[in-house]
């Protein structure tokens, strides 16, 4: 039995979910079953689900810019699952901040 099945047996009024990875069939099923849910810090174009999302692009951009303005030029990024919305936005913010200050990505 999965965690989702266990939660569904509790007959909760709603779910706040922080998805990880790139598979979301369980979320599709929950939406098809008309369960109330809100996703935190993830958005899927293929799902019509309510979500609360951090501005990952701006956060990454500002973090990198802060390091650059503090004198750092060799700035690495350690990223998560490449296909996720949050990861692609963070990497874009990182790359755009480096580009703004003419620092090459190596």
Q: Rounded to an integer, what is the distance from CA 1 to the centroid of its chain?
A: 27
pLDDT at position 22 over 80: no
**Residue spans per domain, the chain:** 3-52, 56-100
Name the strands in the sheet holding 37-40, side by side, starting at the edge strand that comes first in the sequence. 15-17, 37-40, 50-52
Question: What was the pLDDT predicted at 1?
Answer: 58
**What is the tens place of the pLDDT at every residue in 39-70?**
998 777 788 899 998 999 999 999 999 999 99
Over residues 75-91, the pLDDT tens digits come to 999 988 888 888 999 99
């Amino acid at each position: 039995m999965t965690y989702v099945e266990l939660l569904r047996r509790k007959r909760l009024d709603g779910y706040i979910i922080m998805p990880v990875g790139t598979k979301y069939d369980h979320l599709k099923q929950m939406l098809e079953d008309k369960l109330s849910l809100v996703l935190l810090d993830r958005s899927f174009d293929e799902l019509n689900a309510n979500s609360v999302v951090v501005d990952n692009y701006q956060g990454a951009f500002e973090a990198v810019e802060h390091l650059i303005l503090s004198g750092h030029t060799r700035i690495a990024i350690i990223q998560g699952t490449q296909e996720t919305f949050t990861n692609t936005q963070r990497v874009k913010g990182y790359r755009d901040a480096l580009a703004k200050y003419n620092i090459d990505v190596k």
